[in-house]
Amino acid sequence: MTRFGRFDFLLALVLSLMIPALSAFQAPVSADVVSAEDMLRVKRTYYADISPDGRWIAYTLSVPRCAKEKAGGAYSELYLVSTKTGEILPFITGKVNVGSPRFSPDGKKIGFTMRRGEKAKTQVWMIPVDGGESVQVTTSKTGAGSFRWLPDGSGIAWLEMEEKPEVEKTLDDKGYGFIYYEENLRNRELYTGKFGECEKVKGKKVTEGIHVVGFVLSPDGKYAAIATCPKNLIDHRYMFRKIHILDLETGRTRRLTDNPGKLGGFAFSPDGKKLAYVAALTQADHALSQAYVIDVAGKEAINLTPEDFRGHINWVGWENNGTVCTLAGEGAWNTLSTVKAKGGGRKVILDGKKAGIVFNAPHFTKDFKHFAFVGASPDIPGDIFYWKKGGRELERLTTFNPWIAERELGRQEVVRYKARDGLEIEGILVYPVGYEEGKQYPLIMTVHGGPEAHYRNIWLGSYFHPAQVLAGKGYAVFYPNYRASTGYGVEFAAQGYMDAAGKEFDDVADGIDFLVDEGIADGSRVGLGGGSYGGFAAAWFAGYYTGKVRAVCMFVGISDLVSKRGTTDIPYEELYVHSGKKLDADWDQWEFSLKRSPIYWAHQSRSAVLIIGGAADTRVHPSQSLEFHRRLKMNDHPAVRLVQYPGEGHGNRKQPGRIDVLYRHIEWYDWYVRDRNPLEGPMPPLLIHGSYGLDLEEEKEEEGKE
C-alpha cells in the first residue's frame, strides 16, 4: 500500500529532477547547535492540575506529528507525576488528543476531554487515578467542550453547541448548504448531569437562548457564574462579554458585571459570596489588565489594581475568603501576588525573575499550600513545576526535551534601550552561538503580534520563532517589546491607540539602530519578521523603513488598514481598542488609514519580501497578502514571493505548513541577509521538498514495486 498515487509519483519525479535539495545552498550546521529538525520535535505542556491532597499533578504533553504522518495538529497525551518522588505515570498516550485534565473533588478520578475515532465528537472521559480503563462520560451529538466537576463529585457540568436544525441538515444534504454570513448562528449552552449507569451522565440543559463562553460553579453547587456574549462571534467574545449568575435549578440568570471592555477568567471565593475576575480598565484598554472583586449579591466591583501598576494582571484566584491571588506579566517576567479582597497593597509571593522561571496560572490545593505550574525559561520550552507555598524555589518535575542540554545555545538576556523620544524599551536578545565581542553579526528582528502581547524571557522557539536555530547559524536575534505591548502597564500599552504603525514601529527601528551602535549587529545585514500585527510590521519595514532591512518575512500580516477593517472577524475590537474612529465621511480617517498602510509605501521597497499565511484566515484575510504582493509586483519589485497554506487560518496548525514556514523563512534570511544575494538576481528555489522529511526517492521505489 503506497501513500502516493501514479499522478503523485510523476509529480515527485519531475520535482526531484527540477529542484535541488536544500542542502545545496544551506551552509553546514554544527551538530551541537539547535537545528531546524530539533525545532520540529520540541515537546511541551500547556496545562496541569494538582490533586486535592497535593501528591499528584496531571498534565497533558503536546507531541508534534512527524512529517510522514497524515496532516494534523500535535498529539496530546495524559500523564501523572508525583510531587513527592518525581515518578511519572503514563495514562493515555499515542495518537490521541487529551485536553483539560481535572481531578475529581475526592482525588480518586481524573476527568478530561478526548475525541476517539476519526469522525467522533469530543466527549468528556474519566479514568481512575489508581489504574483502570478510561470511560466515556458524555454522549454529546455536537461535542462536549469545557467541563467542571460538581462540587460533591456526583457529576459534571459542561458546555456544548446547539444542534443544527433538521431543516438545515436536509438542505445541506441536498446541496443547499449556503453560507449566511454571521447569521443563523448557534449558541454554546451549559449542561449538568449526575453519574448514572456505567458512569454515563444524562445532560440537563440549564441555559436557553444565550451564548456561554465560560463558567465556574459556586462552592455549594447551586449557582454558576457564566460569561456570556450576545452572539457566537469571536468579536462579541472579545468585546461584549459579561458575567451573569445562573441558578442551576431554575435556569434564571441575572447580570453581575458591567465591565466596559474585555473580560478574562473569574473565580468564586471559598464561601461563594464574592467573585474575583480579570478585565480591561476601559473599553479602549486593548488587553486584560485589572483584578476586580464583586459581591455575588450585586454591589459595585472593587478594582484591586494600583493606578500606577507597570504590568498586566491576567488571572485571579482565592487564598481564602478575604484574600485574592493574582498573576501578572511584569516586563519579561511575571509575579504571583496576594491582595486583600477589600483592597490595599499587594504581597508578591512568587517572583518569576528571582526563580528564573516564567510560569503560567497555577492550580493549587484548597489550603493554598501546594501549587502546580507550567514553567519555561530560555532553555526550557515548557515543563511541570511544583511549589510549596513559602518555599524559595520551584521544583522541576519533568524534562520533556533532554536533548536541549546537549546543544550549545546562544546566550539570552533582557536588554533595554532608549527610543528616539527617550522612552525606555525592553526586549529579549539572543546572541549568536560563539559570540565574540566586537564582531558584528547579521541580525533578525522578530516582532510580536497583537500588539496586545509581549515577549517573556523564555524558550523562544517555534516554527516561526526559531531563535536558537538562527543563533546556531550565526545570527543575533532580537525580540522587542515595543510601545503598545502588554506587561508594562496600561499607559505604555495605550500609546499605540489611534497610532497604528507610529511610535510602536519607530521603537522597533530604534532597536535596530541600538544594536548596530552597540557593535553587535551589522547594519547592512538585517532581516525582520513577524506574524499578524508583527506581519504588519514586516510589511511596513519592507517599504517605509526599507533602508533598514534587507529582507522581511510577513506571516498572516496586514498590508491595507482600510480593507482589513472590512474583512476581519474582529471589527469591533479593531474599532474600540485600535483605530478609535469609524471610517465615515471624514476623509482624515481614510487618509490616515491609507498612509499607515504598507501598500502606500510599497513603491519604494528595496527589501526582499516573503509573504506567507493561511488561505482560510478570517482574522487577517488572505486578501491582505494578495494586495501587498500585487502592489509590489506592479511596482516592478524583483524579489517578492507569496506562499499560502490551504485550510490553515491565522497561524498554521498542521505539520506540513509548519515545516514549510520554518524552512522557507530561514532560507529567505540566509539567501538575502546572511549571504547578501542581490534583489535583482534569482530568488531561492521555490520548492524545498528536501526539507519536509519526505523521501521521494523511497516513494518512487515503493510505487515501482506496486
pLDDT the model gives residue 198: 78
**Cα 688 to Cα 681: distance, rounded to the nearest angstrom:** 19
> E strands along 341-418, which residues?
347-351, 358-359, 363-364, 370-377, 380-388, 395-396, 412-418
pLDDT the model gives residue 116: 87
pLDDT the model gives residue 690: 58
Q: Which CATH number fits domain 43-136+374-400: 3.90.25.10, 2.120.10.30, 2.60.40.10, 3.30.2130.10?
A: 2.120.10.30
Lowest mean pLDDT among 14-23, 240-249, 491-500: 14-23
pLDDT the model gives residue 391: 82
**Cα 314 to Cα 305: distance, rounded to the nearest angstrom:** 12
- For residue range 533-588, list pLDDT tens digits in order: 999 999 999 999 999 999 999 999 999 999 999 999 999 999 999 999 999 988 99
**Cα 123 to Cα 191: distance, rounded to the nearest angstrom:** 13
| Cβ within 8 Å of residue 517, ≥6 positions away | none
Do 528 and 549 contact (CB within 8 A), yes or no? yes
More confident residue, 297 or 10: 297
Question: What mean pLDDT comes out for the span 644-659?
Answer: 96
What is the CA 560 to chain-centroid distance, rounded?
24
Work out the number of other CB atoms within 10 angstroms of the CB of residue 689. Answer: 17
- For residue range 158-184, list pLDDT tens digits in order: 999 999 999 999 999 999 999 999 999
Backbone angles phi, psi at 364, to 5 degrees: -140, 160
- For residue range 124-134, list pLDDT tens digits in order: 999 999 988 99
Please report, for the chain, the start and end positions of each structural domain, with discontinuous segments joined by +: 43-136+374-400, 406-684
**pLDDT band at 299; cut points 50, 70, 90:** confident
pLDDT the model gives residue 8: 35
| Cβ within 8 Å of residue 585, ≥6 positions away | none
According to DSSP, residue 570 is labeled: -
- HSE at residue 649, side-chain half, CA atoms within 13 A, is 7
**pLDDT band at 598; cut points 50, 70, 90:** very high
Residue 702 pLDDT exceeds 80: no
pTM score of the predicted model? 0.92
Write down the residue that cell numbers 491565522 correspond to: 650
**Cα 465 to Cα 39: distance, rounded to the nearest angstrom:** 10
pLDDT the model gives residue 195: 94
Residue 703 pLDDT exceeds 70: no
- For residue range 21-78, list pLDDT tens digits in order: 333 333 334 459 999 999 999 999 999 999 999 999 999 999 999 988 999 999 999 9
**pLDDT band at 695; cut points 50, 70, 90:** low
Listed in sequence order, the DSSP H helices in 546-650 are 561-567, 571-574, 587-595, 598-601, 623-634
More confident residue, 9 or 315: 315
Rg (CA), the chain: 26
Edge-to-edge strands of the sheet including 135-136?
98-103, 109-114, 123-128, 135-136
**pLDDT band at 368; cut points 50, 70, 90:** very high
Residue 124: name the closest of 113, 108, 140 by CA: 113
- For residue range 375-431, list pLDDT tens digits in order: 999 999 999 999 999 887 899 999 999 999 999 999 999 999 999 999 999 999 999
C-alpha cell at 337: 501576588
pLDDT the model gives residue 701: 53
Q: Which CATH number fits domain 406-684: 3.40.50.300, 3.40.50.10680, 3.40.50.1820, 3.40.50.1980?
A: 3.40.50.1820
Cross-strand bridge partners of residue 277: 266, 292
- For residue range 470-508, list pLDDT tens digits in order: 999 999 999 999 999 999 999 999 999 999 999 999 999
Do 334 and 456 contact (CB within 8 A), yes or no? yes
pLDDT the model gives residue 41: 95
According to DSSP, residue 575 is labeled: I
**Cα 468 to Cα 250: distance, rounded to the nearest angstrom:** 56
pLDDT the model gives residue 119: 83
Residue 325: name the closest of 369, 355, 358 by CA: 369
Share of the chain above pLDDT 70, in %: 93
Lowest mean pLDDT among 193-197, 308-312, 351-355: 193-197
